[in-house]
Amino acid sequence: MGIILMYDITNLESFNHLSYWLRNIQEYASPDVIKVLVGNKCDVHDNHRAVPKERGQKIADDFDMPFFEVSCKSNINIEDAFLTLARKIREYRETKADAFELKERDSVIKASESETDVSKCSC
């Protein structure tokens, strides 16, 4: 499962709401949910910017999630953000599947070992 958290870089209030959304994710979402932080409207002039890029990056770093500044209007970095989310979900699922496979293989080996012990019975 994955979540994109998006705020408007021209609206400080939307950025400040991230703490609310992050608390809700922590409380209600699966602990292994993949998150990506996205600041929208990167195509606007700096004089309209209310949230410096560094603040977005800091939140992303603090919560260990990728960060992108995008423009939905101009189609800047949209694909990169979604592909990163999809790639991270795939990587997580592959890691989880590998761990399950190792656990399953270990169980089979233990079962085989115990069967061998039974055959050594000298009754």
What pLDDT, on the 0 to 100 scale, is given for residue 33?
96
In a domain, 120, yes or no: no
pLDDT digits 0-9 by tens, 60-85: 999 999 999 999 999 999 999 999 99
- Provide the CATH number for the domain around residue 34: 3.40.50.300
Length of the chain: 123
In a domain, 106, yes or no: no
- Give CA–CA dist 5/38, Å, rounded: 6
What pLDDT, on the 0 to 100 scale, is given for residue 22?
97
pLDDT digits 0-9 by tens, 4-40: 999 999 999 999 999 999 999 999 999 999 999 999 9
**The model's pTM:** 0.77
Residue 56: name the closest of 106, 101, 22, 97 by CA: 22
In a domain, 122, yes or no: no
Domain encompassing residue 64: 2-92
> What mean pLDDT is predicted for residues 76-100?
91
More confident residue, 106 or 68: 68
In a domain, 109, yes or no: no
pLDDT digits 0-9 by tens, 48-62: 999 999 999 999 999
In a domain, 47, yes or no: yes
* Strand residue runs (E) in 9-101: 34-40, 67-70
In a domain, 103, yes or no: no
In a domain, 107, yes or no: no
What pLDDT, on the 0 to 100 scale, is given for residue 102?
58
Residues 92 and 85 sit within 8 Å (Cβ to Cβ): no
Structure tokens at 92: 């997580």
Within 13 Å and on the Cβ side, how many CA atoms surround 69?
A: 16
- Amino acid identity, residue 102? L
Q: Is the pLDDT of residue 101 over 90?
A: no
In a domain, 114, yes or no: no
Please state the domain count of the chain.
1
